[in-house]
Amino acid sequence: MFRPSHFTAVLLFALFASTVFGITQRETPRRMFRYGAYCFALFVGSVIVLSWVMFLIER
Q: Which residues are CB-neighbours of 9 under 8 A, at least 6 positions away?
A: none
Quick check: pTM over 0.85? yes
pLDDT at res. 9: 94
Report the pLDDT value the prediction gives residue 23, as an integer from 0 to 100: 96
Per-residue pLDDT tens for 19-55? 999 999 999 999 999 999 999 999 999 999 999 999 9
In the 8-state DSSP scheme, what is residue 23? H
Sign of CA dihedral 52, 57, 58, 59: positive
Instruction: Give the pLDDT band of residue 59 (cuts 50, 70, 90).
Output: confident
